[in-house]
Structure 1
Amino acid sequence: MHVGPTVALYLNLQSAPINNPGLVHAGDSIWLWIALGVGVLALIAAFVLAKIVLAGDCGTEEMQNISNAIREGAEAFLSRQYRTIGILAVVLAVLVFFGYHSSARTAPFALKTVISFLVGALCSALSGFTGMYVSIRANIRTAAGARTSLNKALQTALRGGAVTGLVVVALSLLGVGALFLLFGGLENPQAVPYQLVGFGFGASLVALFAQLGGGIYTKAADVGADLVGKVEAGIPEDDPRNPAVIADLVGDNVGDCAGRGADIFESTAAENVGAMILGAALYPVFGIKGILFPLIVHAINLIASIIGVAVVKTNDVEDPMSALNRGFYVTSAIALAGFAGAVYEMLNGPGVHPIWLLFCGIIGLVTAFLFVWITQYYTESKYRPVRSIAEASLTGPATNIISGLAVGMETPALPVIVISAALLLSYYCGVQGLADIAGISAYAKGIYGTAIATMGMLSCAAYILAMDTFGPITDNAGGIIEMSNQPDSVRDKTDKLDSAGNTTKALTKGYAIGSASLAAFLLFSAYLEEIKTIVTAKVNVPGGYMPVGWSFTNINLAEIPVFVGALLGAMLTYLFSSLAIKAVGRTAQMVVKDVRDQFRENPGIMAGTSKPDYARCVHIVTGAALKEMVLPGLLAVGLPVAVGLIFRNFSASYGASAEVLTSNGMANVPSINGVPVNLAGASAVAGLLMVGTISGILLAMLMNNGGGAWDNAKKWIETGQYGGKKSDAHKAAVVGDTVGDPFKDTAGPSLHVLIKLLATITLVLAPLFL
């Protein structure tokens, strides 16, 4: 049997029997039940952690009043946001069904794709909601814990974050595993994984709007609060006199908790499905164990992360980041040991060299470490980039912004080298690991190596997400402590935690873009093979002709549709970012106006004799953010579909089908009754996907790290450098920070999701492009 070069060779076998029954062993199905069992146990562990966190002390009545205001604002926003996303999801589900039904796909196949799409969207929404539900209740417990000890506050915040991490990875594992079982994966494992692609698309859709809407909310509130509070009124951050302070604290939850939870869920979902499809293409080599391998990797991820969270503890003098790093190292060590065991147990057999496949996983894990280190270098104040921005602040806001932009433009260099090395090395190791297997192209072997590297990179995802959610929890805790006028000794503890939280949030952004880069490459290969599969089905009719060895793996940029699609893909990332940043700017202007109006209307606010109207500001930001998220979100979803639909109606002379006959009179492209299949639409979308992914990766790195560097340059000055708070350098740094805020917390993280959304939407809607 010949195995095709990449991921979808067996997609047309959706109704065919397993053609290698000798490789199917009844005992192999146990791996699926193990994965599902661990997923359930992880949800139980998350529930136990949530109970422990929620049983903690809630502090004083004043602290509880502040926390309740944050909780009410966050829940109101998320409820309205998910209603909007739900409407869009239903519309897209109908589009997917009829698109598939009108193509070469069967109605049952279309229905299964729609079901997986809706389940993916639901699980992604649950991931975001669960993470935020716990975080907005862990903040007050963390603040109260800081009144006792730093260790109490640290463990409360991390355990609250761990609930998010465990739920996100467990729902991804359970969602994919349950659908695989429901769709008959144990009976026909080669065909079922592709029917799960809709799961990744549903996850991507919810993640985009959750990250985008939450990012607009959090940064508009933050920028508005800073510009009027810090710069104009000269009051500290989280000062209770600032009417925007509650909206700012709400934003930390809806942006960093709900948004990032959906983001990482999307990464794990796309990686699960993509790797399972690759395993299906290599079914003759590994059997069903190759398909179930990614689920077992995430089961190991959950176990390792639970242990990693459990070992974290500190004292009042240690840097909290050191304690968090210890947990990360323990998690990584356990994950690596489990990964090695899974490789030797599941990816082994005649002609297979598992040591090379293990090297692929190690490459992915090392890539994760390098991305974390590079992000630290560009965003921590003890290194050159941040200090150079702080020094530039001495001469005003203009030089601060110039220096910050320069640092941001420098940041993609090292990550691109790391990604390139990871892809090349894992591809080589994949080829070597399967070198003695006949009948499989080197390309298929290498691509599987890159899939294993992606699994290795995500093998600590649950702990990484716990550290990310730790950030907004501690940020909120610090705000609650300051607004309730707690002693300076307590504020010092929350300041330490807040500083560590800023670092963990920056690290997670770097980690997310790295995993998105590797996953997008796999999904791009999947799209090319899906087009081949659809074309094969279309020409499998009387008068149809399929050239021997024809594939859709070579995309020619010299063809007009491909070049135009590539231009539009690059343009999309910049226009999308522009819309997101302008949305923050417009919403922030509304916040600034409201804060100024409240100061003018009620002089008692600044005098401390009356309280501002926090709810009014929260209401303004909620409505504006939900309105502003729609246009960039629809652009991201609509442009690749529009390109495919427009170009599919172009003449064949515009596309890859231009040359119809070879010298011997036979068609060198698929044709029906001598008329070539028009591939212009599919080719244009391939160009959009490829170049859009590349430009999106680079732009996301610029924004994430540049914005983080601006933020920490301000914080470094606030420690007393260059005159400290209220100095001219500090005022310049605040301006730079407000520019960087929508970079690092709105447009940058949303681009992570956009990259994967482009890959999943083109893969799922590929039938519409022919």
Structure 2
Amino acid sequence: MFYISLMVGLFAIAVAFGILFLIKKEPKVSSKIAEIAGYIATGARAYLKRQIKTISLVTPLLFFILLFLFNWKVAAVSVLGVFTSLLGSIIGMASSTLANSKVTSACAKSSDKAFRLAVFGGSITGFSVTGLSVLVLSILYLIFKDYQIVIGFGFGASLAALFAQIGGGIYTKSADIGADLVGKVENNLPEDDPRNPAVIADLVGDNVGDCAGRGADLFESFSNDIITGTLVASTLLSQYGPKAIFLPLILQATGILASMIGILITKKWGKNMAPSTSFNLGLIVTAVIASLGGLIVVKALLPDLSVWMGILLGVTISLIATVSTRYYAGMEGKPVKEMAEASKAGPAINIIVGLSNGLQSPIASIIMIVIAIIAAYTLSGGSLFVIVAVNLGTDLMIAYIMAADTFGPITDNASGIAEMSHAPEELVEKLSSLDSVGNTMKAITKAYSMSSGTITAFVIFTTFFALTKNIITDISNPYTTGFMLIGISLPFLISSLAIKATAKGAFLMVDEVRRQFREIKGLLTGEASPDYGLCIDITTKNALKQMILPGIVSVFIPVVVGFTFGPKALGPLLIGSVLCSAVLGPFFNNTGTAYDNAKKTIELNRELKGTLQHQAAVIGDTVGDPMKDVAGPSILIFMKLVGMSALLIAPLII
């Protein structure tokens, strides 16, 4: 059975490279567009090369620690998890930096063609990330019969994702804040103006944060759900039969195939539709086919159809999460309109209104997740495997969701390239319209990731309790309440470290941009060119330096607590971390995105650009940048990394 998922994984990777080849065959772009795209690609490669080098310095230490605690198999599989995650990021970013200039050029002929090209460019990331996960895990399960060993792969993938997401987030938001504060607010320059020294670093950041970082994030989420699902299935073979062990991988392989059909639907039937409508059509088709495919898989492998009910609940959660996010963070939602209106009174009121709406935004998604978990548990007669099925159901559309997410940085870059190459105003406006759709897709992906990640974390700590036989019954026990409080505080610590690192990078960037405006004569008048490379170098060094500490904290605190106090302390720590992250993560994601869209709402009226209302919204957007692109995604990965660390050491602390 594992050979089926292995073949689907190979097929997905082949499709990804086939699409990459087709994009390469698109007509050559103009020399000016090629020049700017070359700057972006060079900066992105330089960052990723340094990031891989930095992670490679940490990896040998990880290998020897795991070798000492476990054996060579766990250590080797963990290192494999790190570098497979990075490989997915490399493929995704390469496709993004290739597609951006092609989209700019295609949009001059047809908005529809540019849209479809950007979707296909994004799908390379989706298919390569999911294909690699299914392929490598299938091989590992064929080699190792001890499913505990493969937990190491999930641990390594989570560690790489934390570094990639925090490092990429710090990079992109340091550059973005520097470009906005000095360029827009102080010098009243438009978005992506070539006179702004930070503009190339900002465009590079779209790729290393929103593409490579998010790719690593969804890779570890996808992989961890398969790993925990297989681990739980291995303990329930007497109830569900010997074929249950194959369900997680076969089910995710089905989701990849469903996503391929969804992408084709978006391309073929999405012509002349509004881009957002086309995405919605593809998403619904993917959800329906994945659900039906899930039914076929469950009927073929299991005697209990209640598992399919869990899968259906998971798919439904994913769809509802997009609706909730569109309301609280989308440009058409009431909260964003309120924030745009509040900007007339200045930045303080804009920020206050944004915070009030943001604090409310997690409630709907939390209630939805709780209802789904309780419904699955109750209707199945208390089956943990059905809750696992809910979790797997949320992953069935990951390849499609990842394609929609990577659409964002591709169109953002395409819009920036058009602006910097002094393209006609009509072309810039068409690409800006696609860019706004991309921002909505990125927000939806964050909501999807948070919902899926919360259920993943729930399954991880439930699996931990099952492995350690640790059932919390006495809430008044000091170990329970004390370590639960410590767990609750950890997401705040991770958020603090991530946001402070972004502020430090932004401070360095603001200083550098101001220096160039001050010292390079003729820069503001367009008679001289800025030093883009120096800004890229500053943000790269700061991001890679600052990403280490949050990763160390995320791994070592649960390990130290587990070995020092045992499962009676580590269990409550896990619960506290997950519960707090499940609320704090959506708050950061939705609030930051709403600040961004409030600014974009004002910018739709060109007469308002440069006004006090616009400047207030830009400041709000600047505050929201590290919230939505650094703190929020980092918390999501943190809560899964804490869980995988606990699962990894569980056999040693029982």
The interval holding the TM-score normalised by the smaller chain is: over 0.9
Residue 40 (structure 2) aligns with: 70
The one-letter code of the counterpart of 2:108 is: R
Task: State whether residues 172 and 206 of structure 2, in contact with CA within 8 Å, keep that contact through their aligned partners in structure 1.
Answer: yes
The worse-fitting range, judged by mean Cα deviation, of 562-571 and 309-318 is 309-318
Corresponding position: 1:527 with 2:464:
yes
Give per-residue Cα distances to partners, 1:209-266, cap 9 Å, x unaligned. 0000000000000001000010000010100000000000000000011100000001
Corresponding position: 1:640 with 2:558:
yes
Corresponding position: 1:91 with 2:42:
no
| Candidates 462, 483, 489, aligned match of 1:565 | 483
Question: Unpaired segments of 5 or more residues in structure 2?
Answer: none
Residue 34 (structure 1) aligns with: 4
Corresponding position: 1:614 with 2:532:
yes
TM-score, normalised to structure 2's length?
0.98
Residue 598 (structure 2) aligns with: 713
| Candidates 452, 476, 488, aligned match of 1:515 | 452
TM-score, normalised to structure 1's length?
0.83
Residue 319 (structure 1) aligns with: 274
CA distance, structure 2, for counterparts of residue 600 and residue 386 of structure 1 = 36
CA distance, structure 1, for counterparts of residue 185 and residue 271 of structure 2 = 33
Residue 27 (structure 1) aligns with: none
The one-letter code of the counterpart of 1:181 is: L
Residue 542 (structure 2) aligns with: 624
The one-letter code of the counterpart of 1:399 is: I
Corresponding position: 1:393 with 2:363:
no
The one-letter code of the counterpart of 1:229 is: G
| Candidates 378, 389, 414, aligned match of 1:477 | 414
CA distance, structure 1, for counterparts of residue 474 and residue 135 of structure 2 = 40
| Candidates 220, 245, 251, aligned match of 1:297 | 251
| Candidates 114, 137, 144, aligned match of 2:75 | 114
Distance apart, 1:530 and its partner CA: 2.7
The one-letter code of the counterpart of 2:626 is: P
The one-letter code of the counterpart of 2:200 is: I
Distance apart, 1:284 and its partner CA: 2.1
CA distance, structure 2, for counterparts of residue 68 and residue 519 of structure 1 = 39
Distance apart, 1:768 and its partner CA: 5.0
Corresponding position: 1:182 with 2:152:
no
Question: Unpaired segments of 5 or more residues in structure 1?
Answer: 1-30, 101-109, 186-191, 432-441, 532-550, 649-679
Residue 124 (structure 2) aligns with: 163
SS in 1 for 2:147: helix
CA distance, structure 1, for counterparts of residue 294 and residue 514 of structure 2 = 56
CA distance, structure 2, for counterparts of residue 363 and residue 465 of structure 1 = 21
Residue 410 (structure 1) aligns with: 360
Q: CA RMSD in A?
A: 1.5
Which structure shows the bigger proportion of residues in helix conformation? 2
Q: How does 1:448-527 map to 2 (within 5 A)?
A: 448-527=385-464
Task: State whether residues 376 and 390 of structure 2, in contact with CA within 8 Å, keep that contact through their aligned partners in structure 1.
Answer: yes
Residue 107 (structure 2) aligns with: 146
The one-letter code of the counterpart of 2:67 is: F
The one-letter code of the counterpart of 2:527 is: T
CA distance, structure 2, for counterparts of residue 175 and residue 632 of structure 1 = 27
| Candidates 22, 26, 41, aligned match of 1:52 | 22
Distance apart, 1:278 and its partner CA: 1.5
Distance apart, 1:117 and its partner CA: 1.3
SS in 2 for 1:204: helix
Distance apart, 1:455 and its partner CA: 1.0
CA distance, structure 2, for counterparts of residue 424 and residue 160 of structure 1 = 39
CA distance, structure 2, for counterparts of residue 357 and residue 475 of structure 1 = 41
CA distance, structure 2, for counterparts of residue 409 and residue 167 of structure 1 = 36
Q: How does 1:330-729 map to 2 (within 5 A)?
A: 330-348=285-303, 352=304, 354=305, 356-431=306-381, 442=382, 445=383, 447-531=384-468, 551-554=469-472, 556-645=474-563, 648=564, 680-720=565-605, 724-729=608-613
Distance apart, 1:642 and its partner CA: 2.4
The one-letter code of the counterpart of 2:66 is: V
Q: How does 1:109-258 map to 2 (within 5 A)?
A: 110-183=71-144, 185=145, 192-258=146-212
Distance apart, 1:558 and its partner CA: 2.4
Give per-residue Cα distances to partners, 1:348-391, cap 9 Å, x unaligned. 2xxx3x1x222111111110011111111111111111011111
CA distance, structure 2, for counterparts of residue 121 and residue 130 of structure 1 = 15
The worse-fitting range, judged by mean Cα deviation, of 321-330 and 749-758 is 321-330
Q: What percentage of aligned pairs have identical amino acids?
A: 41
CA distance, structure 2, for counterparts of residue 82 and residue 34 of structure 1 = 32
CA distance, structure 2, for counterparts of residue 729 and residue 526 of structure 1 = 51
Give per-residue Cα distances to partners, 1:70-112, cap 9 Å, x unaligned. 1111111111111222222321222222223xxxxxxxxx332
Distance apart, 1:430 and its partner CA: 2.8
SS in 1 for 2:308: helix
SS in 1 for 2:632: helix
CA distance, structure 2, for counterparts of residue 131 and residue 370 of structure 1 = 27
SS in 2 for 1:193: coil
Corresponding position: 1:753 with 2:637:
yes
CA distance, structure 2, for counterparts of residue 139 and residue 289 of structure 1 = 44
CA distance, structure 2, for counterparts of residue 748 and residue 567 of structure 1 = 20
CA distance, structure 2, for counterparts of residue 325 and residue 87 of structure 1 = 43
Distance apart, 1:133 and its partner CA: 1.1
Distance apart, 1:163 and its partner CA: 0.6
Task: State whether residues 96 and 765 of structure 1, in contact with CA within 8 Å, keep that contact through their aligned partners in structure 2.
Answer: no
The worse-fitting range, judged by mean Cα deviation, of 239-248 and 521-530 is 521-530
CA distance, structure 2, for counterparts of residue 77 and residue 555 of structure 1 = 49
Give per-residue Cα distances to partners, 1:718-757, cap 9 Å, x unaligned. 1129x62111111100000000000000010111100100
The one-letter code of the counterpart of 1:150 is: S
Residue 650 (structure 2) aligns with: 766
Task: State whether residues 494 and 634 of structure 2, in contact with CA within 8 Å, keep that contact through their aligned partners in structure 1.
Answer: no
Alignment length, in residue pairs?
653
Give per-residue Cα distances to partners, 1:281-326, cap 9 Å, x unaligned. 1212333321111111111111111111112247896421111111
CA distance, structure 2, for counterparts of residue 595 and residue 493 of structure 1 = 29
Give per-residue Cα distances to partners, 1:486-532, cap 9 Å, x unaligned. 1112112211210110000000000001111111111101212332x
